[in-house]
Amino acid sequence: MDAVFLARLQFGLIAGFHFLFPPTTLGLSLIVVIVETLYMRTKDEAYKQLSVYLVKILGTVFVMGVATGIALEFAFGNNWAAYSRTVGDIFGAPLAAEAVFSFFLESVFLGILVFGRNRVSPKTYRFSAFLVFFGAHLSGLWIIIANSWMQTPAGFRMEGGRAVLDNFWQAALNPSTVIRYVHTILGGWITGALVAMAVAAWLLLKGRAVEKAALLMKTSLAVFTAAAVLQLGSGHAHSIQVTRTQPEKMAAFEALWETRDGAPFTVFGIPDEKNERTLLAVRIPKMLSLLVYFDPKGRVLGLSEFRKEERPPVLLPFAGYHVMILLGLAFILMAAAGVWLQAKRKIVSNRAYLKLLLFAVPLPFLANETGWIAAEVGRQPWAVFKILRTSEAVSAVVPAGNILFSILVFAVIYALIGAAGLGVILRTIRGGPGEAAAEAKKGDV
Amino acid sequence: MATWDLLRDVWFGLIGVLLAGYSVLDGFDLGVGALLPFLAKTEDEKRTLIGAIGPVWDGNEVWLLAGGGALFAAFPMAYATVFSGFYLALMLVLFSLILRAVSLEFRAHDPARKGLWETAFVGGSALPALLFGVALGNVVVGVPIDARSEFAGTFFTLLRPLPLAFGLLGLCAFLMHGAAYAALKSEGPLLARARKTERVLAIAFAAAFALSFVAVLFYLPAAVRSAPAWVFSLVVWLSLVLFAASSKQGKDGRAMVFSSVAFLGLWGMIGAIHYPNLVRATDPALSLTVANASSSALTLKVMLIIALVGMPVVIGYTIFAFRVFKGKVRPDSEGY
């Protein structure tokens, strides 16, 4: 197996595993801030106990994110030394800025959130919760800046084969940064909110801490609904941006082989890359043109416009993009059902809906991952779009055997900590709100 | 060009500051982790030590990420050469840090595998404490680098006398710092044990420092002419003596200060003998230096603004957090 493939496999593995945790942190930290604010306003102990409960879950998720995040900062130098040399002038700064502006903030105040409730005033505590929320979201911004620059590089010039920074703001706020950020953050809110709803659903199904669970359900359903609806708009805007800035990627997302005036939206199909056709295709005529240009006759470029060696693969981006959209629509339906039940005050007793929420927990994670896969595989064959090929970005001195060895160790470690982490989170959830506080008093180490 | 040169030197210094900050802060929690089985004899004592680092270790570790990120941004050539060249060694550091990060949380909440997570915590603390020094020793003494700036050695190239001496020195320094923090946060028999360990480790530190000192003079004879290096080495010796004295008098806070100053002395000394190199090459013409490995002047300037705006705030709230958690830790304190 060649080093390029293995290096990509390793990055996919460690980034994909890491990407399970930060989105959850985004959503859960938002809900913690809301619950703390409600506690400040109402002085209702139920909210405090819910906050204690959620902070415990957040703490574990956060630590998993920290542990798996270190590997990514190392990875660019480890496996992608040529990449680091070529674009380090631009790419390193957001990573350093993330540490300085946000990672310190999140880590230090999460320490206060998890360990300091009895050592600071309620006001300071709530502010700490806000800073964790703020730090997590700022952290995401820097990472999205770095990632977006790989997709739609800007604000630089090439000098002696290296990208050199020309304009920091143009590089940071490149054409895909803002919309990618909004889209990713909303994905995180959907994830964290659905996790919280599922926790509430489980408590309700077990008939435990029913009133607190109902409060949690109401709060997280509000976040979930808002995020799911907004995500429809942000996803749409993101697609328009991709069509404009990376037309070959949109062609791959839609398996559009030839340029079309009035291109259809492919609802289902199996792309056959070799013969450049889509098997079992179900299409809505003119829909793609309508969606990306608001004009049923708009011209969408097909893959044949691009040289074969500059085309992205089709199958993974197509599948990832479509699964993500399908899930996004499912979230809106779930939110609508939830709001309807909430309005009729039946949500706490509708066992079918509560069970549905339990089974739905993996879905937002799947949506985040498939969206990410579509975005990154759709960028191929480039590491930095039209600037640096992935095949030319790897470390020249690292033998394939070393990469394979490290992949195997990563796989073992991640399987171990993934299983243990899930176990710890489930144990915390089983502890229940209120009861968890009692357990903490016992000093259960 | 003059501004660019100045910016490069400033960044050489700032990366030193970030790494020194990392050793002073994460140093004590790595040290406590590695010393856990030696200092704590009962579950309550373990709980005390773990409770002492629980709220702060994560923030401390960010100093490493900030240092790594700054190296990437300011000197991408050095970052690329070292991280790809020292591949397996850095993977070991990485695996350690990953396991260590989750192990405290899991030790508390995954009772079925408590022993496993404790081992992961102790090993995951000790191994990086050793390997950081080995890695640093290699870039200081020089590694084979080819004309494309690629590392031309193997894993075993890294295991030479000076790097191993530095590894030992780093380990002793982290352990001593950990013992000092343990003393600061504990009471009773644990405190007595921590203070005794401090003095043993101060002697070990002195021996490892003497060994490294000889290795530097032998392998890098030009270092003799660096006046700042002599001054900084004096700082190290002096703070070691004052550390041992403070420990004996039971002044734990003061001991903590001197063990921190010892770290600063070490970094100052290394900076003085290493500048302007980032990665010394066996063939000096191929060394990666502040001049040939840096980012553009604009990037260095942007980064400097980021550091000047961000770091004072970071230091401010870090002090706030340490104040929140100041004082002795009891096994039943709010914790995991």
Interatomic CA distance for residues A232 and A236, integer angstroms: 6
Mean pLDDT of B225-248: 96
Flag whether residue B17 sits within 8 Å of chain A, measured between CB atoms.
no
Q: What does the buried/exposed string (b/e) look like for B255-293 if buried means 16 or more CB atoms within 10 Å of the residue's CB?
A: bbbbbbbbbbbbbbbbbbbbbebbbbbeeeebbbbbeeb
Cross-strand pairs, A270: A279
Alpha-carbon Rg of chain B, whole angstroms? 20
DSSP string, B237-298: HHHHHHHHHHHHTT-HHHHHHHHHHHHHHHHHHHHHHHTTEEE-BSSGGG-EETTTS---HH
Please report residues of A whose CB lies closer than 8 A to that of B152: 397
How far apart (Å, rounded) are the C-alpha atoms in residues B63 and B24?
10
Residue written as token pair 């840096």: B294
B90 contacts in A (CB within 8 Å)?
A: 74, 78
Give residue-wise pLDDT tens across range A253-262: 999 999 999 9
How far, in Å, CA of B117 to CA of A234, rounded? 42
- By Cβ distance, the residue of A64, A71, A103 closest to B62 is A103
User: Is B85 strand, coil or helix?
Assistant: helix
DSSP state of A120: S
Q: Which of A60, A71, A445 sits opposite B335 (nearest CB)?
A: A445
- Measured between CA atoms, how close is B172 to chain A, in angstroms? 25
Radius of gyration (C-alpha) of chain A in whole angstroms: 23
| Total Cβ atoms within 10 A of residue B228 | 13
Total residue length of chain B: 336
What's the pLDDT at B330?
82
CB atoms within 10 A of CB A238: 20
In chain A, count H helices and then E strands. Answer: 16, 8
Residue spans per domain, chain B: 2-222+277-324
CB–CB contact A99 B65 (8 Å): yes
Would you list the domain boundaries of chain A?
3-259+301-441
pLDDT at B334: 62
> CA torsion sign, A89 to A95 to A98 to A100?
negative
Contact of B109 with chain A, judged by CB distance below 8 Å, is answered with: yes
- Other beta carbons within 10 Å of B147: 9
Q: At what angle do helices A210-245 and A45-79 cross, to 10 degrees?
A: 30
Substitution target in A55, A104, A413 with the highest count of B β-carbons within 10 Å is A104
Chain A nearest CA to B208, separation (Å): 29
**Whether B299 contacts chain A with CB within 8 A:** yes
Look at the alpha carbons of A169, A175, A179, A180 in this order and tell me if their dihedral is positive or negative: negative
Cα A275 from Cα A445, distance rounded (Å): 61
Q: A417 is written with which tokens?
A: 């900590």
Distance, in Å, from the CA atom of B161 to the CA atom of B68, rounded to the nearest integer, reads 26
Dihedral over Cα of A71, A77, A79, A83: its sign: positive
**Length reported for chain A:** 445
Q: Which residues does chain A have with pLDDT short of 70?
A: 1, 435-445
Residue for token digits 């995180």? Answer: A188
Determine the Cα–Cα distance for residues A53 and A31; give it in Å rounded to an integer.
Answer: 12
Task: Give the residue on B whose Cα is nearest the Cα of A402.
Answer: B88
How do residues A342-367 score in pLDDT, each as one tens digit? 999 999 999 999 999 999 999 999 99
Considering only CA atoms, which of B327, B252, B321, B257 is closest in space to residue B57?
A: B321
pLDDT for position A154: 97
Inspect the interface and report whether the beta carbons of A112 and B55 lie closer than 8 Å.
Answer: yes
The counts of H helices and E strands in chain B are: 11, 2
Q: What is the pLDDT of residue A439?
A: 46
Pairwise CB contact (< 8 Å): A99 & B106 = no
Sign of CA dihedral A288, A290, A291, A293: positive
- pLDDT attached to residue A443: 40
Best mutation target among A91, A166, A445 (most B Cβ atoms within 10 Å) is A445
What is the distance between the alpha carbons of residues B229 and B223, in angstroms, rounded to a whole number?
A: 7
Note the ipTM here: 0.91
- Report pLDDT for B335: 65
Nearest to B72 among A96, A117, A395 (CB): A96
Partnered with residue A272 across adjacent β-strands are A277
Averaged over B74-80, what is the pLDDT? 95
pLDDT of residue B336: 67
> Hey, is A166 helix, strand or coil?
coil
Report residue A441 as tokens.
Answer: 């008093």
CB–CB contacts below 8 A, A to B:
244
Q: What percentage of chain B exceeds 90 in pLDDT? A: 88
Give the model's pLDDT for residue A38.
95
Question: Which residues share a beta bridge with A283?
Answer: A266
Compute the distance between CA of residue A362 and CA of residue A356 in angstroms, rounded to an integer: 11
For residue B228, give both structure tokens. 């700042």
- How confident is the model over A75-113, as pLDDT tens digits? 999 999 999 999 999 999 999 999 999 999 999 999 999
Q: For residue A321, what are the contacts with CB-CB under 8 A and spacing of at least 6?
A: A253, A254, A370, A371, A374, A378
- Out of B55, B110, B334, the one facing A118 most closely (by C-beta) is B334
What is the overall mean pLDDT for chain B?
Answer: 93
Q: What residues are paired with A265 via a beta bridge?
A: A284
A63 and B58 within 8 Å at the Cβ level: the answer is: yes
Q: What is the pLDDT of residues B279-315, one digit of tens each?
A: 999 999 999 999 999 999 999 999 999 999 999 999 9
Q: Do B324 and A116 lie within an 8 Å CB cutoff?
A: yes
The count of other CB atoms within 10 Å of the CB of residue B108 is: 18
Q: Which residues of B touch A77 (CB under 8 A)?
A: 72, 79-80, 82-84
Q: DSSP 3-state assignment of A300?
A: strand
Structure tokens at B40: 């704590």
- Are A192 and A355 in contact by the 8 Å Cβ rule? The answer is no
| C-alpha triplet B21, B22, B27: angle, nearest 5° | 115
Give buried/exposed letters for A29-46 (b at 16+ CB in 10 A, else e): bbbbbbbbebbeeeeeeb
